[in-house]
Amino acid sequence: MIPTTGRRRFATAARRASYTMQTPPEHTTPPAHAKLTVLIVDDEPDIRELLSMLIADLGYATITAHDGLDGLEKFRSASPHIVLTDIKMPGKDGIALLKDIKGLNAEAEVIMISGHGDMVLAIQSLKHDAADFITKPIDEELLEIALAKVSERILLREQVREHTRNLERLVREKSAALVEMERRLAATQVMESMGKAFTILSGAAPEGNYFFELPFFVAIHDGNCNVVTVNEVYQARFGRRAGLRSCSVYERCGSENWVSPVREAAEKQSSVHRDEIMIAEDGTRVPVLSHVSPVVGSGGGIELLLEVAVDVSEMRRLQDELSRTQRKFEHFFDTVPCSITVQDRNLRIVEANATFRRDFGLPEGRTCHDLYKRSDTPCETCPVLATFGDGTAHQFETVVTTTTGRRRNILVWTAPLTGAGGEVEQVLEVATDITQIRELQDHLSSLGMMLGSMSHGVKGMLMAIDGGAYRVDKGIETGDLERIAAGWKTVRHRLIHMRKTVMDILYYSKSREPELAPHSLAAVVAHLAETVAVKAGQSGIAFHSDYLGVNGHVSIDEIAFSSAMTNILENALDACRLDTGKKGHRIELSAAVDGDRAIITVRDNGMGMDRETMDRMFTLFFSSKGALGTGIGMFVTHQIISGHGGTIEVDSAVGAGTTFRVSLPLVDGS
Partner 1 sequence: MSKKILIIDDDPEILVYLKELFQDNGYETVTASNGVQGLEKVRAERPDLITLDMDMPEKGGTLFYAGMRQDESVREIPVIVVSGVGPRPPALKKGVPVVSKPIDNGKLMQLVDEVLK
Which residues are at the interface with partner 1 (CB under 8 A)?
20, 25, 28, 46, 49-50, 53-54, 57, 137-141, 144, 455-456, 459-460, 462-468, 470-471, 474, 486, 490, 493-494, 626-628
CB of 491 to partner 1, least distance (A): 10
Question: Which neighbouring-strand residues pair with 296?
Answer: 302
CB of 175 to partner 1, least distance (A): 53
CB of 561 to partner 1, least distance (A): 31
Tell me if 413 sits within 8 A of 164, measured CB to CB: yes
CB of 626 to partner 1, least distance (A): 5
Residue 37 dihedral angles phi and psi, to the nearest 5°? -105, 135
Residue 115 or 239: the one with the smaller Cβ distance to partner 1 is 115
User: 3-state DSSP call for residue 429?
Assistant: strand
CB of 569 to partner 1, least distance (A): 23
HSE, CB side, 13 Å, CA atoms: give it for residue 417: 22
Residue 97 or 607: the one with the smaller Cβ distance to partner 1 is 607
Residue 478 or 551: the one with the smaller Cβ distance to partner 1 is 478
User: 3-state DSSP call for residue 254?
Assistant: coil
CB of 26 to partner 1, least distance (A): 8
CA 242/CA 228 separation, integer angstroms: 5
User: 3-state DSSP call for residue 661?
Assistant: strand
Tell me if 281 sits within 8 A of 239, measured CB to CB: yes
Residue 237 or 497: the one with the smaller Cβ distance to partner 1 is 497
Query: How do 285-296 and 132-135 pair as beta strands?
Result: unpaired
CA 44/CA 88 separation, integer angstroms: 11
CB of 116 to partner 1, least distance (A): 9
Tell me if 610 sits within 8 A of 117, measured CB to CB: yes
CA 328/CA 323 separation, integer angstroms: 8
Instruction: Find the Cα–Cα–Cα–Cα dihedral 152, 154, 159, 161, rounded to 10°.
Output: 160
CB of 452 to partner 1, least distance (A): 9
Residue 81 or 494: the one with the smaller Cβ distance to partner 1 is 494
HSE, CB side, 13 Å, CA atoms: give it for residue 634: 27
CB of 567 to partner 1, least distance (A): 21
Contacts of 204 (CB under 8 A, 6+ apart): none
CA 424/CA 379 separation, integer angstroms: 20
Residue 362 or 462: the one with the smaller Cβ distance to partner 1 is 462
CB of 660 to partner 1, least distance (A): 23
Residue 462 or 559: the one with the smaller Cβ distance to partner 1 is 462
Residue 143 or 386: the one with the smaller Cβ distance to partner 1 is 143
CA 564/CA 558 separation, integer angstroms: 10
Residue 322 or 486: the one with the smaller Cβ distance to partner 1 is 486
Residue 54 or 201: the one with the smaller Cβ distance to partner 1 is 54
Three-state SS for 465-528 is HHHHHHHHHHHHHHCCHHHHHHHHHHHHHHHHHHHHHHHHHHHHHCCCCCCCEEEEHHHHHHHH
